[in-house]
Amino acid sequence: MRFTQDHEWVALDGDIATVGITSYAAEQLGDVVFVEIPEVGKTLSQGDGMAVVESVKAASDVYAPVSGEVVEANAALGDAPETVNAEPQGNGWFAKIRISDPSQVEALMDQAAYDAFLASL
Amino acid sequence: MRYLPLTPDDRAEMLGVIGAGSIDELFVDVPAAARRDGFVDLPMFAGEMEVERELAALAARNVSAGSAPFFCGAGAYRHHVPASVDHLIQRSEFLTSYTPYQPEIAQGTLQVLFEFQTQVAALTGMEVANASLYDGSTACAESVMMAQRVTRRERAVLSGGLHPHYVATTETLARAEGMDVVHLAAAIDGEDAVIAAIDAHTACVVVQTPNVFGTVTDVSRIAAAAQAAGALLIVVTTEAVSFGLLRSPGEMGADIVVAEGQSIGNALNFGGPYVGLFACREKFLRQAPGRLCGETVDAEGRRGFVLTLSTREQHIRRDKATSNICTNSGLCALAFSIHMSLLGEVGLRRLAALNHQRAREVKAALTGIKGVEILTPRFFNELTVRLAKPAAEVVEALARKGVLGGVPYSRLAPNAGLDDILLIAATETVTAEDIAALKTALTEVMA
Amino acid sequence: MSMMNTVGRPTAPVAASDHIPATLTGGRGLLQDEALIFELGGWDKTGVDLPEATDADDCLSGLLRDSPIGLPGLSEPEAVRHYVRLSQKNHAIDLALYPLGSCTMKHNPRLNEKVARLAGFADLHPLQPVSTVQGALALIDRLAHWLKTLTGMPAVAMTPKAGAHGELCGLLTIKAAHEAAGQGHRKTVLVPTSAHGTNPATAAFVGYSVTEIAQTADGRVDLADLEARLGDHVAAIMVTNPNTCGLFERDIIDIARLTHAAGAYFYCDGANFNAIVGRVRPGDLGVDAMHINLHKTFSTPHGGGGPGAGPVVLSAALAPFAPAPWVVHGAEGLELLEEAVGEAGAAFGRMSAFHGQMGMFVRAYAYMRSHGADGLRQVAEDAVLNANYIKACLSDLMSPAFPDGPCMHEALFDDAWLEGTGITTLDFAKAMIDEGFHPMTMYFPLVVHGAMLIEPTETESRGELDRFIHALRVLARAAKAGEAERFKGAPFHAPLRRLDETLAARKPKLRWRPEAKAPRAGQ
């Protein structure tokens, strides 16, 4: 798993990247009440707005950690947004992206680097 | 000064506690050039008696609607509001409370909003309603903005029967957002004409029923055409009492319903404050403007109500909000809800039937008057007549005879070329004597 | 001695035990619980006596409602009980000091309610012939005169229905002015980081992109940052003065000068006008447009969330673009200009139907006449005095966000003083409820951590101020002493405990439905 400084994670399987927000982000947000997931088929560049996560008191933009085409979005979050709090780095995933540039993934932080980054905040 | 509790001694002591020598020291940051000693062009303070005298004198220079036979409508309607409504809204806890951001100590306001939302959804035949907007015209504008967000299309088509003030308000907002607004030519009975104007870029069509000319329309055909093209149907109603007699916009296929709620619980007030009703399909809820009140439980499992889905709103979403709205029309919504609770379905149906009956009586009285042609094919409580003289002149002449005989369409749209059109409304407050007076006066004026 | 009343009974309380039994029905003395009208039944009931009507016209066949609406009715006694019981669950200005910063919760004079209800104002249709409403137009005209004179501005747009609506009006006017001058390429609005959410929301609504201006360490607009960000692409700045931190922008004249030099307009959010009314005219500070919240500075009631009114005073440059309608002096009396023609040809359009919030105009005018120019000046002075008094009396226990120098009409604290206690601003606010006070504004402005913004207004007596200060002092000491339970679980004594806002947002239930079974108190 790789991580961005905006607290998104990427899990790569072949050329499909599953993405979501990290446990740290989910905890900071508090109870998630709604997730605006991206449309399947949408093309994203790294850093584009990909999704919006809403808690009761805040709405946070989630940015695409990698460029590519959205091939699947986690519609189950519609009925169960609390999954993002329960399993942010598992069943609480937001979207699967067919990546266009594998080097983007390699350039992201690994677990150790992300843990160090969190410690510095 | 009766509203300022501090005494000179209080002020002196408090300055001492603060450690300031004078009140001016607390204003030290004001640039010297901007400090003012006083205002020569404004009077000094006045006691209650004097203020009341001035206000009463101003009020006395107006001809109140209740003091004459009265037939004005065109978006604001004179109805009888039971005495208990105004009494209840003046209770301290309703009148002087704030937006219910601290729900534990605002359950009065919040429960009323929940009841109000339920009433509005039921009346409009829609799945969900919000806690009110400023008025019908801004609600109409907001609904068009919402259609743009939902469909991601840029074109709005407004019918020829939509109230001209609503058209203007919608145009102001929609054009600021870069939308293309098409307003069809004024037509007594032309809501269906929007169908021909629907294309692949149309975000919404906006129709009004009863429309500004009083005509009632079955909008189901329009709903089907809009939905087939992926556009939203927005239905506008300016006379909320009509919900008691007519098939609801929701039943006819509306996606969004906006209405002016003034008719229920609220006085004419020379145009404001009023209360905008807003209802829509549940699937569009997250794109809806305005406040929403929802049910929940407290820490002890007791039912309670809170403002919810606030992340759409300005104080959280800031530049990505669904609207910039900060207030609803709280006290007016409360008045609406109290009056609606007193009426109940039974009372509203009866009230609506009475309104329609009065309009039929007006129609009968005006039929046959020389120079007066009744145009409205299907009406609720408002009729359109064509006059053989300019309607504005006729209205002035009627006023000189002590009759407030309606609203000339030219007052709403001076450039529409419909100067001979008069809009006449008749609510339950109209008596047989009033109708007789209108008939007599109009006959004389048109002779 | 004759023994006339032999019914013996104790007339002083007997020694009470410590045990307070819960009530059997859930009722608590004067505080009644209350069901929804839909649970009170009455589906076939009405509380309004109306005569029967004849059948509908044939022309309406096919258009008549043939399915039930599904709404109950209540008799008058039931309705009065229902709403009086509900009202008991609300806090209100009429109960205690309501310290909501930036809301100006001052007393709502009852004279205003009386005159607003005169038939000559309340029973007036907006589209009656103008000759029959000269008194109403005169009132609007007089109110407009007061607003212009108090602010030192030559024009005012009266129709916006709320503060945010006024902001919209102001920005639309500015947009129209730029377009008329061939400056339509200006697409950016600058807004301080401390701005109220309506500012960027309104700018975005009008089609502008929003850029933030930094704040200095002493809570003001960073002049250097502003200057760096101004340019040919900027249409306007939106600044609140006094700002949302409760501080007067000392550099306001420079802010205006720089903005104008860059060809942009200065929009001022007038929410905090209560601090300076009668002492300072925004027009003298270089403001081009400013909305005035009549429901804040000029006492019209908050009504549980509205209605408000937000007239916008305008500079000479912006005046031609103000929206219809206007009250003007004609040959035969006052007239209503309702179309953008002739001298009003540059108007950007209409903000709403009809002519504005007349009901609020009457109230605000009565308020202004009651105070007069001298009274209004006293209003600002007492408002500022009261806020500084509270700040001075709490600064030893709580941490003012900007301790140096006076504040204006509101005092801002951050949550530094709560550090290490585990108690948040929210917890502290909820504990205030138990002590009888509505919480202050929390977490706004966003630029201060755990913000607590206290605005007492001028209509508080010394006694009420001291009562409030005492409550906050004892609570602050309790927080610092680690009495976490008092705060974490608060409120305990309000009609309800803390509510589950997560549940409300995850499973929105926005209306009553027949199948829902709601828990009734005591069952």
Residues 6+ apart with CB under 8 A from C419: none
What is the rounded average pLDDT of the residues B229-242? 98
Q: Around Cβ A118, how many Cβ atoms within 10 Å?
A: 13
**Start-to-end CA span in chain A (Å):** 20
Is the residue at C251 inside a domain?
yes
The C-alpha atoms of residue B46 and residue B43 are separated, in whole angstroms, by 8
Residue B406 has pLDDT above 70, yes or no: yes
| CB-CB neighbors (< 8 A) of B99 in chain C | 302, 304-306
Domain of residue C349, residue span: 112-367
CA–CA separation, A54 and A58 (whole Å): 6
Specify burial of residue C355 (Cβ count, 10 A radius: 0-12, 13-18, 19+): buried
Q: Do B310 and A55 touch (CB under 8 A)?
A: no
On whether residue C222 sits in a domain, the answer given is yes
Please list the helix, strand and coil fractions of chain A in percent, rounded to the nearest 5, in that order: 25, 35, 40
CA B369 → CA B373, B445, C274, distances in Å?
8, 10, 58
Token readout for C395 is: 């600064």
The reply to whether C327 and C196 lie within a common domain is yes
Confidence of residue C520 (pLDDT cuts 50, 70, 90): very low
C366 pLDDT exceeds 50? yes
Same structural domain for residues C345 and C458? no
Token pair recorded at residue C6: 């032999």
Least Cα distance to B333 among B273, B256, B245 occurs for: B273
ipTM of the complex: 0.97
Residue B207 parent element (H or E): strand B202-208
Residue C522's pLDDT is: 37
Residue B430 to chain A, least CA–CA distance (Å):
50
Residues in B whose CB is inside 8 Å of some CB of A read 286, 308, 310-311, 316-317, 320
Please report residues of A whose CB lies closer than 8 A to that of B311. Answer: 33-34, 54-59
Residues C434 and C487: their CA atoms lie apart, in Å, by 10
Residue type, B230: G
Alpha-carbon span B204 to B157, nearest angstrom? 6
pLDDT tens per residue, range A66-76: 999 999 999 99
Q: Which residues contact C47 (CB under 8 A, 6 or more apart)?
A: B82, B341, B342, B343, B344, B347, C73, C74, C75, C76, C78, C79
Distances (CA, A) of B108 to C34, C69, C369: 9, 25, 33
A87 Cβ under 8 Å from any chain C Cβ = no
Number of domains in chain C: 2
B352 burial via Cβ count (<10 Å: 0-12, 13-18, 19+): buried
Chain A: closest CA distance from residue B325 (Å): 17
Residue that has been written with the tokens 């104007």 in this structure:
B197
Would you call C374 an interface residue with chain A, using a CB distance cutoff of 8 Å?
A: no
- Do C285 and C403 lie in one domain? The reply is no
Q: Are residues C287 and C416 in the same domain?
A: no
Give dist(CA B294, CA C128) in Å, integer: 40
The percent of residues above 70 in pLDDT, for chain C, comes to 97
Contact B331 C304 (CB under 8 A): yes
List chain B residues with CB under 8 Å of C518.
295, 303
Q: Kindly state whether residues C411 and C471 are assigned to the same domain.
A: yes
- With beta carbons under 8 A apart, name residues in chain A contacting B310: 56-57
pLDDT value of residue C17: 77
Alpha-carbon torsion, ordered B221, B227, B231, B237, to 10 deg: 50
CA angle C64, C65, C66 (to 5 degrees): 110
Q: What pLDDT does residue C339 have? A: 80
Asked if residue C519 has pLDDT above 70, the reply is: no
Cβ of A81 within 8 Å of Cβ of C501? The answer is no
Give the span between the Cα atoms of C231 and B119, in whole angstroms.
51
**Is the domain of C223 the same as that of C330?**
yes
Q: Do A34 and B311 touch (CB under 8 A)?
A: yes
Q: Tell me if residue C243 falls in helix, strand or coil.
A: coil
- Domain membership flag for residue C519: no
The answer on pLDDT for C249 being more than 90 is yes
Q: Cβ neighbours of residue C511 under 8 Å, at least 6 residues apart? A: B114, B117, B118, B121, B128, B129
Measure Cα distances from C179 to B238, C6, C21, C169, C209 in Å. 34, 91, 71, 15, 17
Burial C246-276 (b: 16+ CB within 10 A, else e): bbbbbbbebbbebbeebbbbbbbbbbbbbbb
**CATH number of the B66-80+345-446 domain:** 3.90.1150.10
User: C502 touching A, CB under 8 A?
Assistant: yes
Closest-CA distance of chain C to residue A56, Å = 6
- pLDDT at C521 (0 to 100): 40
Cα separation, B167 vs B228, in Å, equals: 25
Per the structure block, which two tokens stand in for B407?
A: 């609203």
Would you state the pLDDT for residue B326?
61
Arithmetic mean of pLDDT, B349-371: 96
Question: Are the C-beta atoms of A70 and A95 separated by less than 8 Å?
Answer: yes
Euclidean distance between CA atoms C52 and B350, whole angstroms: 6
C502–A34: do the CB atoms touch at under 8 Å?
no
Q: pLDDT digit string (tens) for A85-116?
A: 999 999 999 999 999 999 999 999 999 999 99
CB distance B428 to B381 below 8 Å? no
- C-alpha to C-alpha distance for C354 and B166, rounded to whole angstroms: 10
**Predicted confidence (pLDDT) at residue B39 exceeds the cutoff of 90:** no
**What would the two tokens of residue B380 be?**
């609720």
Q: Which fold has domain B83-339?
A: Aspartate Aminotransferase; domain 2 (3.40.640)
End-to-end CA gap in chain B: 59
> Would you say B422 and B387 are in contact if contact means Cβ atoms under 8 Å apart?
yes
pTM of the complete model: 0.95
Coil, strand or helix: which one is C255? helix
pLDDT of residue C348: 83
Q: What is the mean pLDDT of chain A?
A: 93
Residue of B nearest to C325 (CA): B165
Contact state of B269 with C122 under an 8 Å Cβ cutoff: yes
Distance between CA atoms of residues B88 and B85, nearest Å? 5
Output the CATH code of domain A2-100+107-120.
2.40.50.100
- A interface mutation test: which of C501, C507, C509 has the most A CBs within 10 A? C501
User: Which of C194, C94, C75 shows the shortest CA–CA distance to C443?
Assistant: C194
User: Domain holding C449: CATH number?
Assistant: 3.90.1150.10
Note whether C186 and C284 are same-domain residues.
yes
* Domain final residue pick, C348, C367, C386: C367
Residues C320-341 pLDDT 10s: 999 989 999 998 899 998 887 6
Is C86 in a helix, a strand, or coil? Answer: helix
Task: Give the residue among A102, B305, B55, B298 at the shortest CA–CA distance from C139.
Answer: B55
The residues with which A20 forms a beta bridge, in sequence order, are: A9
Q: Tokens 């023994």 map to which residue?
A: C3
% chain C with pLDDT above 90? 83
- Name the DSSP class of C63: T
With bands split at pLDDT 50, 70 and 90, how would you rate the model's confidence at C523?
very low
For position B85, what pLDDT does the model report? 98
Is a pLDDT exceeding 80 seen at residue C426? yes
Give the CB-side neighbour count of residue B17, counting CA atoms within 13 A. Answer: 20
Stretch C282-302: mean pLDDT:
98
Which tokens is B213 given?
């000319």
Q: What's the rounded Cα separation, in Å, for the pair A93 and B71?
A: 62
Question: Helix B164-176 to helix B136-151 angle, to the nearest 10 degrees?
Answer: 40
- Distance from the Cα of residue B13 to its chain's centroid: 49
The residue type at C522: G
Residue B308 DSSP class: -
Contact between chains at A54 and B320 (C-beta distance less than 8 A): no
What is the rounded CA–CA span in Å between residue A27 and residue C217? Answer: 30
Alpha carbon B303 to chain centroid, angstroms? 32
Other Cβ atoms less than 10 A from the Cβ of C365: the count is: 27
Tell me the nearest-neighbour CA distance from C508 into chain A, angstroms.
10
Q: What are phi and psi of B382, to 5 degrees?
A: -140, 140
Give the per-residue SS3 of C362-410. Answer: HHHHHHHHHHHHHHHHHHHHHHHHHHHHHHHHHCCCCEECCCCCCCCCC
The confidence score (pLDDT) of residue C8 equals 72
Going across the sheet that includes C411-414, the strands are C399-400, C411-414, C452-454, C441-442
Residue C353 per-residue DSSP state? S
